[in-house]
Chains A and B, each alone.
Chain A
Amino acid sequence: MEAFLQQLINGLSLGSIYALIALGYTMVYGIIKLINFAHGDIYMVGAFVGYTAINSFNFSFFPALILSMVFCAILGVAIERIAYKPLRNATRVAALITAIGMSYLLQNGMIYLVGSETRAFPQVIQNKVYEFFGLQVSQTQVMIFATTIILMLALQLIVQKTKMGKAMRAVSTDADAARLMGINVDNVISFTFALGSSLAGAAGVLVGLYYNSIEPMMGYAPGLKAFIAAVLGGIGIIPGAMFGGFAIGIIETLVSGYGGSLIKDAVVYLILIVILIFKPSGLLGKNVKEKV
């Protein structure tokens, strides 16, 4: 039982990171129906920005986190404006290929800039370990969990209470109707990319702290898993992405904790297939009739 609870705690930390990435996927999908394959690589860039800020400029944790979020937000908007905006009315395949191209560009660009070797992320947080009832919780884990919850609350506040959030929800419901109501759809889409990418940037810094290593290809697998998390929760639904992220994180940790560390990735991909067979709209999704 104790081992199980311990795995649960570890799973929550990993799940927080997946949830932060999944939020970006889900918001972008909700608003322009595009799987933004480059999202996982934005998260990688976030990790490297955090690394550089801490290593070269001696930033402490929070300024590095914020710098990384701002940088990723700008990067996300730039990618949207340059690569995705001209394709808004193109076929889905064209948009997806562009997204793949962008992802490939970020990966290879980063390898070109910094080399492909793995780097150790500087440990800016004292690694104290707290014990509760025989369960170990490290300072980093607390920090990851707290940061995630704060960011999620902030996101929820922005989406539900601000004018921009209202515009986002309007555009995701019906972009044309929103445009007729005087909403600047382009700006709303850019804002969505900025929000999603900044969350991915935060996740990048947090994962650097948690796993202590970063490399240019690190975005691929977590990006894919975060997307699966978004599908699991119901793509386009913000609480769904949070739920899905935590669920995938916990499942992955439990599988590897009980001797399946070699197949933990396969289990996650299998969840995707199962969810696509039985409930493609996701666990929190409603069945929407396709309208012609």
Chain B
Amino acid sequence: MKQFNKKNLGWLIFIAAVYIIIQIGTSTGIINAFYEITLMTILINVILATGLNLIIGFSGQFSLGHAGFMAIGAYCTGIVSIKYPTMLGLMGGILLGIAIASLVALLVGIPTLRLKGDYLAIATLGVAEIIRIVILNMNDITNGAAGLSGIPFIANWQITFAFIVISLIVIINYIKSSPGRATISIREDEIAAESMGINTTKYKIIAFVLGAASAAIAGGLHASYFSVIRPADFTFMKSVDILIIVVFGGLGSMTGSVVAAIVLGILNIYLQPFGQLRMIIYSIALVAIMVFRPSGLLGTKEFTISGLLDRKNKKNSVKEGGAE
């Protein structure tokens, strides 16, 4: 199999183009300090949303504890990089966060994902609260409710961008692999998947752990970029914010999640003055989307380079056909 086929090359060019555009934007000052915060929020939300989409949109399980895993990543990174304020410290902290978040996800996932039904939703909700309470009570390490401050600024948008690319490659390749297809089959019909000999629990757990690990990465980057983290940043509200992005982008559409994170991030700047009204609009939109389009705004549609190529080819062939 050729690694450098047209499709992959297309994506590579696309990634490079986006990077260059942002680079030009920041170096010419079009993206000023204020917009850079928005940019970072969007980039971090991309990681969070794609991870959550893997759990909700692809394996069909409902996790409400994304903020909890994010908190684990944030605090691990914060604590480690305060001690070792170097790039190595940041990477070590993120790795530690991934390890702990995966372990916690495994411990929660194994008992609850055996069960059919919505137990994961309620268990993750409980776990996210437990994580927050534990952080609140470990005063010596986490500084309790006041939170950690003075985390060295190491992460920037370039590093975050690299993490997005890596995590997207991992997640999308997982989805396209044989275990990934098994995971999607659970979403489509759990009983049918089981009768085809798929170990449904195993694939549900894999998706859940991958999602939790990506949340930990996002949390780590958040801690390192914003320098201040408090337990109050990682409440249920944060989980719902990410859920909103996933639903807008479409349950089961990775590119949809990316687009939704960007669009909502920009929309938030303009809706900021409306305060509470913004939340009301989002919650009504959440209900309305589910009632009228239960698979999310974009459904499982993906924007792909190969789709673009196909369309171009089709157009060409139609033209040729017309000429005959």
Residue on B with the closest CB to A93?
Answer: B62
B290 within 8 A of A: yes
Selected from B62, B115, B191, the residue in CB contact (under 8 A) with A280 is B115
How many angstroms from the CA of A41 to the CA of B121 in the assembled complex?
A: 18
A97 contacts B286, C-beta separation under 8 Å: yes
A179 within 8 A of B: no
- In the complex, chain A residues 60-105 whose Cβ is within 8 Å of any chain B Cβ: 83, 86-87, 90-98, 100-102, 104-105
A104 contacts B123, C-beta separation under 8 Å: no
Selected from A92, A224, A228, the residue in CB contact (under 8 A) with B118 is A92
- In the complex, chain B residues 87-124 whose Cβ is within 8 Å of any chain A Cβ: 108, 111-112, 115-119, 121-123
A108 contacts B280, C-beta separation under 8 Å: yes
Q: How far is the CB of A11 from chain B (nearest CB, A)?
A: 20
Q: Which residues of B contact A101 (CB under 8 A)?
A: 283-284, 286-287, 290
Q: Which residues of B contact A290 (CB under 8 A)?
A: 116
How many angstroms from the CA of A92 to the CA of B320 in the assembled complex?
A: 47
A159 within 8 A of B: no
Q: How far is the CB of A12 from chain B (nearest CB, A)?
A: 24
Q: Which residues of A contact B251 (CB under 8 A)?
A: 93
B263 within 8 A of A: no
**Known interface pairs A87-B291, A93-B56; A108-B126 also in contact (CB < 8 Å):** no
A105 contacts B291, C-beta separation under 8 Å: no
**Known interface pairs A93-B56, A100-B286; A263-B121 also in contact (CB < 8 Å):** no
How many angstroms from the CA of A273 to the CA of B286 in the assembled complex?
A: 29
Q: Which residues of B contact A112 (CB under 8 A)?
A: 276-277, 280
Q: Which residues of B contact A104 (CB under 8 A)?
A: 240, 279, 282-283, 286
Q: Which residues of B contact A97 (CB under 8 A)?
A: 62, 243, 247, 286, 290
Residue on B with the closest CB to A272?
Answer: B126
Selected from B61, B121, B276, B280, the residue in CB contact (under 8 A) with A35 is B121
A125 within 8 A of B: no
Residue on A with the closest CB to B287?
Answer: A101
How many angstroms from the CA of A220 to the CA of B127 in the assembled complex?
A: 15
Q: Which residues of A contact B127 (CB under 8 A)?
A: 269, 273
**Known interface pairs A33-B117, A93-B251, A101-B290; A266-B125 also in contact (CB < 8 Å):** no
A227 contacts B294, C-beta separation under 8 Å: no
- In the complex, chain A residues 257-292 whose Cβ is within 8 Å of any chain B Cβ: 262-263, 265-266, 269-270, 272-273, 276-277, 280, 290, 292
A154 within 8 A of B: no
- In the complex, chain B residues 110-166 whose Cβ is within 8 Å of any chain A Cβ: 111-112, 115-119, 121-123, 125-127, 129-130, 133-134, 136-137
B226 within 8 A of A: no
B286 contacts A87, C-beta separation under 8 Å: no
How many angstroms from the CA of A231 to the CA of B62 in the assembled complex?
A: 17
How many angstroms from the CA of A105 to the CA of B279 in the assembled complex?
A: 8
Q: How far is the CB of A258 from chain B (nearest CB, A)?
A: 16
Identify which of B119, B191, B276 gathers the most chain A CB atoms within 10 Å of its CB. B276
Residue on A with the closest CB to B194?
Answer: A292
Interface residues of B, CB < 8 Å — how many? Answer: 44
How many angstroms from the CA of A272 to the CA of B111 in the assembled complex?
A: 11
How many angstroms from the CA of A269 to the CA of B127 in the assembled complex?
A: 7
How many angstroms from the CA of A111 to the CA of B277 in the assembled complex?
A: 10
- 1/0 contact trace for B267-284 toward A, CB 8 Å? 000000000110110111
How many angstroms from the CA of A276 to the CA of B110 in the assembled complex?
A: 10
If over half of A's interface residues share one DSSP class (helix, strand or loop), that class is named, otherwise mixed; here it is helix
Q: How far is the CB of B255 from chain A (nearest CB, A)?
A: 20
How many angstroms from the CA of A104 to the CA of B238 in the assembled complex?
A: 12
B290 contacts A111, C-beta separation under 8 Å: no
B236 within 8 A of A: yes
B60 within 8 A of A: yes
Q: Which residues of B contact A95 (CB under 8 A)?
A: 290
A224 contacts B126, C-beta separation under 8 Å: yes
Q: Which residues of B contact A220 (CB under 8 A)?
A: 236
B115 contacts A276, C-beta separation under 8 Å: yes
- In the complex, chain A residues 124-141 whose Cβ is within 8 Å of any chain B Cβ: none
Q: Which residues of A contact B236 (CB under 8 A)?
A: 220
A83 contacts B287, C-beta separation under 8 Å: yes
How many angstroms from the CA of A277 to the CA of B290 in the assembled complex?
A: 31
A105 contacts B284, C-beta separation under 8 Å: yes
How many angstroms from the CA of A102 to the CA of B117 in the assembled complex?
A: 20
Chain A contact residues, CB within 8 Å of chain B: 33, 35, 83, 86-87, 90-98, 100-102, 104-105, 108-109, 111-112, 220, 224, 227-228, 231, 262-263, 265-266, 269-270, 272-273, 276-277, 280, 290, 292
Can you list the 9 inter-chain pairs with the closest CB atoms, starting with the nearest? A101-B286, A269-B126, A105-B283, A108-B279, A104-B283, A94-B294, A277-B111, A101-B287, A266-B133
- Cross-chain pairs A/B with CB under 8 angstroms, 24 sampled: A35-B121, A87-B290, A93-B62, A94-B294, A100-B240, A101-B283, A101-B290, A105-B280, A105-B283, A108-B276, A108-B283, A224-B122, A224-B129, A227-B122, A269-B126, A270-B130, A272-B123, A273-B111, A273-B123, A273-B127, A276-B115, A276-B123, A280-B119, A292-B191
Known A83-B290, A105-B280; 8 more pairs at CB < 8 Å: A92-B60, A93-B60, A94-B290, A96-B118, A100-B64, A104-B240, A269-B127, A290-B116
